[in-house]
Amino acid sequence: MTSSVTVPPREGRGIRVNQGQRLRLTTPKGSQCADFFAFNAQNVQEYLSCPHTWVTNFSIVPREGTVFLSRFRRPMLKLVTDAADGAHDMLITTCDQFRYELFGHVGPHANCADNLLTSMRRFGYEIPVVPQAVNFFAKSHVAEDGTLSSPPNPVAAGAYVEIEALMDLIVVVSACPFDMDVEGWEVSGGHRHELSELIMDIV
Ligand SMILES: [Zn+2]
């Protein structure tokens, strides 16, 4: 069984995590958004759902102790250790080809949605829906008037989260390739930072 997987910059990878195992997700170089998805290994129609998780934890930000629920409201994972100082998000939907085109990009652009689909195909699954990701190592901010922004998120090199599987899972992480120069949108440090790899370890 694979116990360590490197997710190269701009790409996605999957890993099986059995019930009771812990997955450590590390960002070796700091600010690099990790789009995180989890599927029931026995039934990939059941996947981690951010909206079901918000309403049960009374929070739109994952914290130590947060239990992530599936769309069937069953516990899938628990955030056991947060060594990234709370710089996480559950609001920003996964980037796809069209998001880059909306910002004026011409031609194919690596994106987390396609990274997820490709990663699940490596396990033999064609999934019909791209779920709302948990974005580790990426901050979002909601102002009182509802304005949404992604402020600078200084995340230390080597920051990590540790997550316990509460059922047998296929976990997919995409090292978000967002590199556009957009005012108020500093995901992965915006255009100023190099995109980097992420590491998944069973610990
Ligand atoms: Zn992305």
Q: pLDDT (tens digit, 9 = 90+) per residue, 132-179?
A: 999 999 988 899 999 988 887 789 999 999 999 999 999 999 999 998
The number of angstroms, rounded, from the C-alpha of 13 to the middle of its chain's C-alpha atoms is 11
Structural domain spans, the chain: 4-42+49-154+167-202
Note whether 70 and 48 are within 8 A (CB). yes
User: How far, in Å, is the centroid of ligand 1 from the Cα of 145?
Assistant: 26
Structural element, H or E, at residue 136: strand 134-136
Q: Six-digit token pair at 88? A: 């996480």
What percent of the chain clears pLDDT 70, i.e. is strictly above it?
A: 94
User: How far, in Å, is the centroid of ligand 1 from the Cα of 35?
Assistant: 6
As a whole number of angstroms, the longest Cα–Cα distance in the chain is: 48
User: How far, in Å, is the centroid of ligand 1 from the Cα of 80?
Assistant: 24
Instruction: Report which residue type is found at 166.
Output: L
User: How far, in Å, is the centroid of ligand 1 from the Cα of 180?
Assistant: 11
User: How far, in Å, is the centroid of ligand 1 from the Cα of 117?
Assistant: 13
**Which of 14-28, 75-89, 171-185 is least confident?**
171-185
Q: What angle do CA 100, 27, 182 make, to 5 degrees?
A: 25
Segment of 27-31, 76-80, 155-159, 178-182 carrying the highest mean pLDDT: 76-80
